[in-house]
């Protein structure tokens, strides 16, 4: 084999090895970025889930004496608030932000003759909690702890 053929063969091997090294570095960088962007978001503190709280009456129209729900007024601060509404016509719903790893909760206390239901929806689509009054006049309670990993809600 001539020296020129050996150099060409060696050059092809080096080129293939360089390509493999670059592919491994790119893959490693992608894994690092995926793991650390979550860390940066947690460090930033602005991680919250967009939830919809719903309350309804079984069998049609009804009213709630009180509705209480938990939310975070600022996704950059860990403090939460509990909003309490007085007499409210059912069906009812509200959009709320709840920080990652925090409890999302809604309680619908119906009038004496009404059975209430409640639901918590993720992004207006996926039901993550639901409940029903155990008896007329008794509150329907829904609660769930939100995922502590931003952008990944468990199945």
What pLDDT does 75 receive?
77
What pLDDT does 114 receive?
92
Is-above-0.85 flag for pTM? Answer: no
What pLDDT does 7 receive?
59
What pLDDT does 69 receive?
98
What pLDDT does 78 receive?
78
* Closest CA relative to residue 55, chosen from 97, 105, 21, 4: 105
pLDDT mean for each 10 residues of the chain (155 residues): 64 77 74 59 68 92 94 84 95 94 95 94 93 96 89 74
**Per-residue exposure over 65-92, b if at least 16 CB sit within 10 Å of its own CB, e if not:** bebbbbbbeebeeeebeeeeeeebebeb
Looking at the DSSP bridge assignments, the partners of residue 91 are none
What pLDDT does 61 receive?
80
What pLDDT does 146 receive?
92
What pLDDT does 81 receive?
93
């Amino acid at each position: 084999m001539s020296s020129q053929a050996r150099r060409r063969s060696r050059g092809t091997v080096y080129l293939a090895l360089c390509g493999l090294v670059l592919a491994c570095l790119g893959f490693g960088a992608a894994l690092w970025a995926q793991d650390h962007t979550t860390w940066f978001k947690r460090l930033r503190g602005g991680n919250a889930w967009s939830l919809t709280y719903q309350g309804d009456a079984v069998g049609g129209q009804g009213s709630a004496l009180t509705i209480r729900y938990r939310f975070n007024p600022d996704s950059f601060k860990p403090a939460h608030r509990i909003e309490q509404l007085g007499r409210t016509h059912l069906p009812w719903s509200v959009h709320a932000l709840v920080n990652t790893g925090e409890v999302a909760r809604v309680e619908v206390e119906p009038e004496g003759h009404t059975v209430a239901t409640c639901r918590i929806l993720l992004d207006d689509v996926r039901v993550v909690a639901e409940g029903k009054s155990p008896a007329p006049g008794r509150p329907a309670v829904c609660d769930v702890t939100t995922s502590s990993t931003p952008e990944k809600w468990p199945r």
